Amino acid sequence: MKLSVVLSALTLALATSFAIPAAQAADPLVIKFSHVVAPDTPKGRAADYFKKLAEERGKGRVKVEVYPNSQLYKDREEMEALQIGAVQMLAPSLAKFGPLGVRSFELFDLPYIFPNKESLYRVMDGDIGKKLFNLLDAKGITGLAFWDNGFKQMSANKPLRSLDDFKGLKMRIQSSKVLEAQMKALGAFPQVMAFSEVYSALQQGVVDGTENPMSNLYTQKMNEVQKHLTISDHGYLGYAVIVNKKFWDDLPADLRDTLDKAMRDATVFERKIAQEENDEALAKVKAAGTTQVYVLPYKDRVVWQQALLPVHKEFEEKIGRDLIQAAYRAAAEVEQERAAQATAPAKKDKPGPVKADKVRKQ
């Protein structure tokens, strides 16, 4: 009798032990995707598009939960949250990797380093981009894709037309030594601040101005509290979509491949809409009439470029002279290819990248 009870109990225990994993396997894998911008920005829309593709192609095996507008974590918190596994996926701006200790990513923060998107993508999608993502492995992070936002513009409550106009202004920046040096080179006082806090800081006069691509400025309604906007294209803001490395490596190979392909398609989508949304945002800011828009003339861009050139030299050791030179070469290659293909001289929107000894001629 006792033996039969023991056997029954053992049989039940074994059945239960196998039944629990089977039930768990039926539950979808949850990916928490956190970011700090609005859902109607290029990054926000692309995050939602990735969710759609991943869930459709995953056929019930995966669920992506997107948390925009710093709902879960602010700028300074999200990297740590990813590393400890509190979230699985982020799309932080490229400036966030310098404070993490991967200073080479600050290449993207250098002022006037990329004359156009073609040069930028050649760097991101080529050997340089791969090298940068490889550096994240030691931090427990895997890089999946580079997402685009756009070139940055300067805004303040006074006109910003000459270098003298920056003197004494408190300008909000992301946490980046390069951006700090950039603002100091212009004569301004850089103020590091979380993105979610910028509107109120501008409204209350805690800071005088900031820099942003147009889609970020408009969706955060900064034009309501900034009277002047200068189209300067002086710097670039982009993102890296990253995941917790252990989480990614532990995924079944077929599911990881499905998610990787979904991310590639989401990246194509994101880059396509980024410039469109920035153009639309600029048009809406002009239409709102709360902000005077000034397009910096080419001759003045060259002056700004010359003033900011020492920042490149200052960070050669931290970023890597080889990376900076590679970015110069990528831009030069694009320029040569365009010249070879052109039937007439191409009109340049802005000066090209500059080298340490001179402003590069267009």
Query: pLDDT band at residue 24, thresholds of 50, 70 and 90?
Result: very low
Q: Could you tell me whether strands 89-90 and 209-212 are parallel, antiparallel, or unpaired per DSSP bridges?
A: unpaired
Task: List, in sequence order, every residue forming a beta bridge with 292; answer none if it has no partner.
Answer: 228
Distance (Å, whole) CA 176 – CA 173: 8
Q: What superfamily would CATH give domain 9-341? A: Bacterial extracellular solute-binding protein, family 7 (3.40.190.170)
**pLDDT greater than 60 at residue 15:** no
**pLDDT greater than 50 at residue 187:** yes
**Residue whose pair of structure tokens reads 């040096």 in the numeric block:** 181
Mean pLDDT for all residues in the chain: 89
Task: Give residue 11's pLDDT.
Answer: 42
Q: Is 334 exposed, middle or buried (0-12, 13-18, 19+ CB in 10 A)?
A: buried
Q: Mapping DSSP to helix (H, G, I), strand (E, B) and coil, where does residue 189 land?
A: strand
Task: Give residue 362's pLDDT.
Answer: 35
Distance (Å, whole) CA 324 – CA 343: 31
**pLDDT greater than 50 at residue 359:** no
**pLDDT greater than 70 at residue 17:** no
> What Rg value do the Cα atoms of the chain yield, rounded?
24
Per-residue pLDDT reduced to its tens digit, 234-291? 999 999 999 999 999 999 999 999 999 999 999 999 999 999 999 999 999 999 999 9
Task: Give residue 87's pLDDT.
Answer: 96
Query: In this structure, how many other beta carbons lie within 10 angstroms of the beta carbon of residue 293?
Result: 15
Task: Give residue 342's pLDDT.
Answer: 82
DSSP letter string, 122-171: HHHTSHHHHHHHHTTGGGTEEEEEEEEEEEEEEEESS---SGGGGTT-EE
pTM, entire model: 0.83
Give the distance, in angstroms, between the CA of residue 21 and the centroid of all CA atoms in the same chain. Answer: 38
CB 144, CB 241: distance < 8 Å: yes
Task: Provide the 8-state DSSP code for 283.
Answer: H
> Domain coordinates of the chain in residue numbers?
9-341
CB 111, CB 311: distance < 8 Å: yes
Give the distance, in angstroms, between the CA of residue 319 and the centroid of all CA atoms in the same chain. Answer: 18
Query: pLDDT band at residue 141, thresholds of 50, 70 and 90?
Result: very high
Query: pLDDT band at residue 345, thresholds of 50, 70 and 90?
Result: low
CB 87, CB 243: distance < 8 Å: no
Q: Which two tokens stand for residue 347?
A: 């009109």
As a whole number, mean pLDDT of residues 123-151 equals 96
CB 95, CB 175: distance < 8 Å: yes
As a whole number, mean pLDDT of residues 33-53 equals 94
**pLDDT greater than 80 at residue 29:** yes
Task: Give residue 12's pLDDT.
Answer: 35
The stretches of 75-125 forming alpha helices (DSSP H) are: 75-83, 117-124
Query: In this structure, how many other beta carbons lie within 10 angstroms of the beta carbon of residue 331?
Result: 23
